[in-house]
């Protein structure tokens, strides 16, 4: 069985600089104050690296980013946030070489807790050898690191006492000394003769679920830009939300352009329901909590939206009516039928948002209740902040959406399903739901999956995604406490 040892930074990952990943830990596990503090020390860390004191720079980053955090918070960020940013930086040529061996070992300066899940689950490594952070008996991180870079090299050598690895991948200027163990060596840039067909059976596992508020990896320049934008972003979000609540639906598309927003509409929406006809059921992909609001804005009338497990504050601030589901099938079916008798209705059968180009499994309930189904493909683009969260507080989702300088929404109306594609022609609700999922995925260029809401929250938050029913006052207090550092 042939084995390969690869350095992570600068080899499997294109960027050898670790700073931005520690910035993510600081922001997502602690908050803006630690995020700003770590950025403030970046010149010191950079100077230590230029002086050849990489080990000292690493220890300073670890101390500032993790000291005082509970180890479970770092594990949560490593599970839900970091894999997306690691995956975006993968060197696919290095991956082709790495994945072609039977036993795969990754060596890294990064604390093992930050990379192990990604490396083992997405890069399919067998072993990860990295630095170890010190945790006290209460589960809190002291900020110190066990050993140094030399100890990581010695642990790698101990792993291959019986048989030398066939290949070592790493930079020529690597601080690790594992190359002497290997029969062969390769350095970036990697140019392989194998084509993608040779690796169809073994690829990096895609990141479907991820969390965190930041869209871009916070390099020093990006982090500084985010910090400078935050106070202005909060003010802009407040103005956008207040204006949106005060103006009629017909005026919002025009006013949104004045404040930097944009809505792109494709396809032809159906006319409003008239006479005794039952309402149209708009079946949407679920990208953010704003989906039904944006749809109502495009249609220039308030369309009620079916919701489940969103915060009371979001419902109170919503400019459109909301219909809260119970997850009791018979009760929910009756609620939806009653709303359709009154008029049009919006439903997102995925049951939760998904950021990546994937669609989660559609619930089949909507297909049982009406034949007037209009699929609507929703998508959005933002620059700084994601408008969804699994581990954080959902009531802040619209605020973070409107904090972006130029949020863009794309709304694509598909044709109403023909009678032969609905349950009235004898098709099962599951066949109809799967068909709607496929045509929406094809419209957006997304991929269909069988994952559900429960799968998402199990991966990201370790729960089923149910929001506790805290009072409105408690939720307002939480919003104020979240943004309090900006005004001090």
Q: State residue 26's pLDDT score.
A: 96
Q: What is the pLDDT of residues 51-89, one digit of tens each?
A: 988 889 999 999 999 999 999 999 999 999 999 999 999
Specify the range with the lowest mean pLDDT, choosing from 152-161, 295-304, 430-439. Answer: 152-161
Share the mean pLDDT of the chain: 88
pLDDT exceeds 90 at position 361: yes
Whole-angstrom Cα distance, residue 355 to residue 207? 10
DSSP letter, residue 363: P
Whole-angstrom Cα distance, residue 396 to residue 393? 6
- As a whole number, mean pLDDT of residues 399-424 equals 94
With H, G, I as helix, E, B as strand and everything else as coil, classify residue 108. Answer: strand
- As a whole number, mean pLDDT of residues 97-106 equals 91
Site of tokens 């990141």: 207
Site of tokens 């599951």: 430
- Largest interatomic CA distance in the chain: 82
Quick one: residue 379, left, alpha or beta (phi over 0 = left, psi -120 to 50 = alpha)? beta
Closest CA to 77 of 141, 25, 18, 20: 25
Q: What is the pLDDT of residues 183-224, one digit of tens each?
A: 888 888 887 665 544 544 467 889 999 999 999 999 999 999
Q: At the fourth CATH level, which superfamily is domain 3-199?
A: HAD superfamily/HAD-like (3.40.50.1000)
Structure-token pair, residue 314: 């979001």
Q: State residue 113's pLDDT score.
A: 95
Question: Does residue 61 contact residue 40 with C-beta atoms inside 8 Å?
Answer: no
Q: State residue 349's pLDDT score.
A: 95
- As a whole number, mean pLDDT of residues 151-168 equals 84
pLDDT exceeds 50 at position 343: yes
Structure-token pair, residue 347: 């439903």
Specify the range with the lowest mean pLDDT, choosing from 8-12, 160-164, 263-267, 311-315. Answer: 311-315
238-247, 401-410, 467-476, range with greatest mean pLDDT: 401-410
pLDDT exceeds 90 at position 452: yes
Whole-angstrom Cα distance, residue 305 to residue 298? 14
Question: Does residue 313 contact residue 472 with C-beta atoms inside 8 Å?
Answer: yes
Whole-angstrom Cα distance, residue 382 to residue 410? 12
The CATH code of domain 230-487 reads 3.40.1130
Q: State residue 143's pLDDT score.
A: 93
pLDDT exceeds 50 at position 50: yes
pLDDT exceeds 60 at position 153: yes
Residue 170's pLDDT band (cuts 50, 70, 90): confident
Domains 3-199 and 230-487 in one fold: no
Report domain extents, the chain.
3-199, 230-487
- As a whole number, mean pLDDT of residues 243-259 equals 84
CA distances from 236 to 229, 367, 381 (A): 10, 40, 17
Q: State residue 486's pLDDT score.
A: 43
Q: State residue 485's pLDDT score.
A: 45
Q: State residue 484's pLDDT score.
A: 46
- More reliable by pLDDT, 330 or 309: 330
What are the percentages of helix, strand and coil residues in the chain, rounded to 5? 45, 15, 40
- As a whole number, mean pLDDT of residues 89-100 equals 91
Residue 319's pLDDT band (cuts 50, 70, 90): confident
Whole-angstrom Cα distance, residue 444 to residue 74? 34
Q: What is the pLDDT of residues 255-294, one digit of tens each?
A: 888 888 899 999 998 887 766 578 899 999 999 999 999 9
DSSP letter, residue 186: E
Q: What is the pLDDT of residues 103-141, one digit of tens each?
A: 999 999 999 999 999 999 999 999 999 989 999 999 999
Whole-angstrom Cα distance, residue 248 to residue 296? 11
Question: Does residue 71 contact residue 48 with C-beta atoms inside 8 Å?
Answer: no
Whole-angstrom Cα distance, residue 413 to residue 182? 57
Q: State residue 199's pLDDT score.
A: 45
Residue 487's pLDDT band (cuts 50, 70, 90): very low
With H, G, I as helix, E, B as strand and everything else as coil, classify residue 173. Answer: coil
Question: Does residue 145 contact residue 134 with C-beta atoms inside 8 Å?
Answer: yes
Question: Does residue 382 contact residue 409 with C-beta atoms inside 8 Å?
Answer: no
- Which residues lie below 8 Å from residue 360, measured CB to CB, with a gap of 6+? 286, 350, 351, 352, 354, 449, 451, 452, 453, 455, 456
Specify the range with the lowest mean pLDDT, choosing from 15-29, 387-401, 436-450. Answer: 387-401
Closest CA to 6 of 149, 87, 133, 127: 127
**What are the backbone dihedrals phi and psi of residue 13, each rounded to the nearest 5 degrees, phi first?**
-100, 135
Half-sphere exposure of 3 (CA within 13 A, CB side): 18
Q: How many helices (H) and strands (E) does the chain have?
A: 19, 15
């Amino acid at each position: 069985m042939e084995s390969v040892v690869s350095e992570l930074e600068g080899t499997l990952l294109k960027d050898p600089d670790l700073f931005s990943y520690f910035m993510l830990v600081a922001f997502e596990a602690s908050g803006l104050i630690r995020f700003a503090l770590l950025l403030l020390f970046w010149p010191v860390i950079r100077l230590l690296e230029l002086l050849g004191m990489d080990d000292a720079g690493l220890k300073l980053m670890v101390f500032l980013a993790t000291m005082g955090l509970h180890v479970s918070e770092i594990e949560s960020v490593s599970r839900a946030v970091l894999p997306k940013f690691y995956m975006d930086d993968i060197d696919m040529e290095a991956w082709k070489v790495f994945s072609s061996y039977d036993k795969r070992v990754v060596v890294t300066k990064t604390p093992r807790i930050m990379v192990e899940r990604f490396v083992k689950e997405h890069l399919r490594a067998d072993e990860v050898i990295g630095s170890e952070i010190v945790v006290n008996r209460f589960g809190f991180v002291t900020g110190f690191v066990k050993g140094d870079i030399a100890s990581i090299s010695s642990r790698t050598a101990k792993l291959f006492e019986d048989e030398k690895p066939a290949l070592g991948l790493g930079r020529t200027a690597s601080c690790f000394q594992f190359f002497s163990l290997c029969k062969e060596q390769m350095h970036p840039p990697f140019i392989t003769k194998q084509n993608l067909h040779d690796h169809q059976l073994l690829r990096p596992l895609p990141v479907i679920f991820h969390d965190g508020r930041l869209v871009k990896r916070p390099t020093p320049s990006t982090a500084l830009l985010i910090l400078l934008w935050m106070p202005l972003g909060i003010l802009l979000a407040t103005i956008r939300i207040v204006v949106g609540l005060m103006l009629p639906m017909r005026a919002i598309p025009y006013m949104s352009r004045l404040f930097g927003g944009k809505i792109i509409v494709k396809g032809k929406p159906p006319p409003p329901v008239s006479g005794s006809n039952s309402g149209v059921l708009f079946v949407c992909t679920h990208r953010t909590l704003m989906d039904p609001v944006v749809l109502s804005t495009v249609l220039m009338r308030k369309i009620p939206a079916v919701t489940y497990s969103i915060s009371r504050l979001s419902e109170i601030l919503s400019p459109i009516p909301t219909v809260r589901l119970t997850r009791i099938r018979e009760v929910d079916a009756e609620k939806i039928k009653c709303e359709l008798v009154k008029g049009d209705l919006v439903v997102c059968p995925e049951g939760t948002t998904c950021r990546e180009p994937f669609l989660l499994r559609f619930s089949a309930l909507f297909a049982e209740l009406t034949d007037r189904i209009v699929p609507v493909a929703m998508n959005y683009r933002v620059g700084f902040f994601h408008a969804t969260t699994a581990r954080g507080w959902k009531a802040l989702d619209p605020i973070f959406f409107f904090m972006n300088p130029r949020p863009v929404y794309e709304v694509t109306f598909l044709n109403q399903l023909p009678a032969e594609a609905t349950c009235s022609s004898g098709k099962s609700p599951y066949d109809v739901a799967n068909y709607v999922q496929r045509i929406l995925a094809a419209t957006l260029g997304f991929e269909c999956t069988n994952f559900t809401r429960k799968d998402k929250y199990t991966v990201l938050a370790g729960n089923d995604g149910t929001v506790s029913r805290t009072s409105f006052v408690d939720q307002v207090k939480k919003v104020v406490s979240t943004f309090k550092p900006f005004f001090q």
